[in-house]
């Protein structure tokens, strides 16, 4: 019984982090498939259209993007992942400034 409770708490805590939202600050997303300037430009355009986004930088060497949000604005992890996958790329991970 104790194991079930601990497992449930663990799963709930993990699911909360998956749907975390970010208000202001920077989010870093590791992306599979970033290989050329065309890839970078495509993602910059996609995120540039988002009202919450202040700026986007794509690092082709690290295969990652950094997204800076406007103060008080946010996109949750699910929205970020959806924008990237709709653009034809796969998200390997999302991390953010605390």
Q: Which domains does the chain have, with CATH numbers?
A: 22-96 (3.30.70.100)
Residue 27 confidence class, pLDDT cut points 50, 70, 90: very high
pTM: 0.72
Residue 14 confidence class, pLDDT cut points 50, 70, 90: very low
pLDDT at 20 over 60: no
35-88 pLDDT per residue, tens: 999 999 999 999 999 999 999 999 999 999 999 999 999 899 999 999 999 999
Distance, in Å, from the CA atom of 32 to the CA atom of 89, rounded to the nearest integer, reads 6
Are 31 and 80 in contact, with CB atoms under 8 Å apart? Answer: no
């Amino acid at each position: 019984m104790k194991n079930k409770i601990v497992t449930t708490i663990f799963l709930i805590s993990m699911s909360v982090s998956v749907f975390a939202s970010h208000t202001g600050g920077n989010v870093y997303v590791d992306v599979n498939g970033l290989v050329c300037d065309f890839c970078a430009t495509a993602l910059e355009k996609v995120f540039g259209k988002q009202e919450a986004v202040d700026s986007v930088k794509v690092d082709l060497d690290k295969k990652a993007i950094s997204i800076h949000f406007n103060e008080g604005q946010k996109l949750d992890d699910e929205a970020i992942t959806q924008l990237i996958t709709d653009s034809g790329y796969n998200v390997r991970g999302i991390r953010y400034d605390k």
